[in-house]
């Protein structure tokens, strides 16, 4: 089954939003416009990162598999648990860590998976706040670095001050404010 990258992005010309949606939709809208390449900025909605257009490898949706691909012999079965999505990677630990892991229920791999899951659960809200701040700052830096109050807004963002942040960006162009408010929706602890 082919995989599709359904990531979303938003394109701006100066400080005005001109397209938003899937990468394919935005590419179609930009191709239909009379905009010269380089006259717009495109941002990934999940990360706030500026993305080059035409899309770099990995951003454009994967095309459906061709009929030729169906004629290829199936791949040899791999070792491990590929149906579960298990990926083998190298981990380097001190001998005392390996000794402790080896004594745990299910062995080292199972113990590491449990430890990672516990850590992910324990820090989920902190991670969400950090990721929202980073996405907001990436976007702000790329599109609003020259806007009035940029430095003050940045300080408010990282100081967890939602009211001051909103106040500092209140005079920014409406489309920039709206997109930034959406990116930063999880950046401030409740």
My answer on whether 155 and 178 are in the same domain is yes
Amino acid 75: pLDDT = 55
Structural domain boundaries enclosing 41: 1-65
Q: pLDDT (tens digit, 9 = 90+) per residue, 92-141?
A: 999 999 999 989 998 888 899 899 999 888 888 899 999 999 999 999 99
**51 within a domain of the structure (yes/no):** yes
DSSP one-letter code for 169:
T
What pLDDT sits at residue 3?
42
**Are the beta carbons of 5 and 64 closer than 8 angstroms?**
no
pTM, full prediction: 0.71
Check if the beta carbon of residue 41 is closer than 8 Å to that of residue 143: yes
Inside any domain, residue 72? no
Chain segment 43-91, per-residue pLDDT in tens = 999 999 999 887 666 655 444 444 444 455 555 555 556 677 778 888 8
CB half-sphere exposure, 11, CA atoms < 13 A:
25
Residue 104 lies in a domain: yes
Q: Which secondary-structure segment (H or E) carries 69?
A: helix 67-70
């Amino acid at each position: 089954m082919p995989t599709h990258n359904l990531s979303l992005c938003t394109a701006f010309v100066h400080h005005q939003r001109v397209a938003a949606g899937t990468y394919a939709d935005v590419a179609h809208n930009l191709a239909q416009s009379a905009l010269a390449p380089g006259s717009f900025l495109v941002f990934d909605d999940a990360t706030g990162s500026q993305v080059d257009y035409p899309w770099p490898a990995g951003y454009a949706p994967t095309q459906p598999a061709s009929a030729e691909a169906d004629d290829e012999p199936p791949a040899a079965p791999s070792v491990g648990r590929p149906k579960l999505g298990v990926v083998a990677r190298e981990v380097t630990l001190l001998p005392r860590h390996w000794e402790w892991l080896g004594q745990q229920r299910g062995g080292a791999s199972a113990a590491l998976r449990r430890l990672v899951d516990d850590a992910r659960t324990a820090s989920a809200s902190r991670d969400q706040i950090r990721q929202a701040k980073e996405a907001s700052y990436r976007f702000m830096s790329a599109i609003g670095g020259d806007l009035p109050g940029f430095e003050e807004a940045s300080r408010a963002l990282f100081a967890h001050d939602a009211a001051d942040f909103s106040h500092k960006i209140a005079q920014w162009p409406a489309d920039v404010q709206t997109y930034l408010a959406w990116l930063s929706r999880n950046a401030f602890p409740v």
